[in-house]
Structure 1
Amino acid sequence: MSDIPSELKYASSHEWARLEDDGSVVVGISDHAQELLGDVVYVELPEMDAEVAAGDEVAVVESVKAASDIYAPVSGTIIEINDNLEDAPETVNTDSYGDGWMFRIQPSNDGDINELLDADAYAESIADE
C-alpha cells in the first residue's frame, strides 16, 4: 500500500501538491507513482519563471522502466526547482514527499488547489491500478 499523506492534495496524474504558508505550491510525484516507475535515473525539471497552466506537461521523470511526463497541478509561475535532483534523481524514490519534491509554483488562481483530490479520493482512484 502506497503512502498517501492526508495534508497534501493530489492530481489524478499522480502529482502531489502542498500549499505553503507563503501561498506557493510545492509539487512532486506520489509514492504510488514512484513505485510504478521503478528506479528513477533522471529528472528533467521545468524552466524557472515559466508560466504554466494546470494540466500542462512541465517535467519528465525517467526510470529504468520508462519515461513519464509530470504535469502542473495548478496554473501559475515556476518559482523554484529542486536542483538536487540533477545529481540525485533517486531521491524521488527514497523520499518522494520530502527531499524528492520537484518544483514550486506561485499560483495564478488560488482556487486551483481546491480542484485537486484529497488523500481519500486519491487512494480510491489508485485502488484499481
Structure 2
Amino acid sequence: MALAWDRYEGQVELFPVATVEEIRAAKSLLSRYRRMQSVVEDIERNGLDGIAPKALARYNAYKLKLQRTDRAIRLIQNEEIRRMIELRYINGLSYTTTVERFYWHRSTVDRKINRGIEAVANTLQMWE
C-alpha cells in the first residue's frame, strides 16, 4: 500500500492511494468477477455436502472476494462511473456495448472506467 506523506507535516493520508500493482490486481479481479460468481452460484446450487477441501477453500475465497468487490463498487461516489463498472464487469457487457450505452467518446469512457477501477482498488486495499 502506498501512503502519501504531507511534505511539511509528516502526516499520513486518511485514505491511502492504491499502487499501480494494486490497480492492476483490481482490474484483474473485476475481469474475473463473472467467472467467480458462476462458481459460487454453482456450488451453492449443488450444496456444500461432500465438496472437496480444495474446492471449499476456493469457494470461501471467491465468496469473500465477491463480497468485498461488491462493497467497493457500491462505494464509488460518481453514479456514472459506478454504472459503467457495473455494466462492464458485473453485467459482463462488452467494451463496445458499454461505450455505446453512454453516447460519449471512447476516451471519455476509458477515463471514467479507469477512475472506477482506481476507486475499487483504493477501497479494496484498505480492507486487506
TM-score (norm. length: structure 1): 0.23
Point out the structure with the larger helix share.
Answer: 2
Q: TM-score, normalised by structure 2?
A: 0.23
More strand by share: 1
Greater Rg over alpha carbons, structure? 2
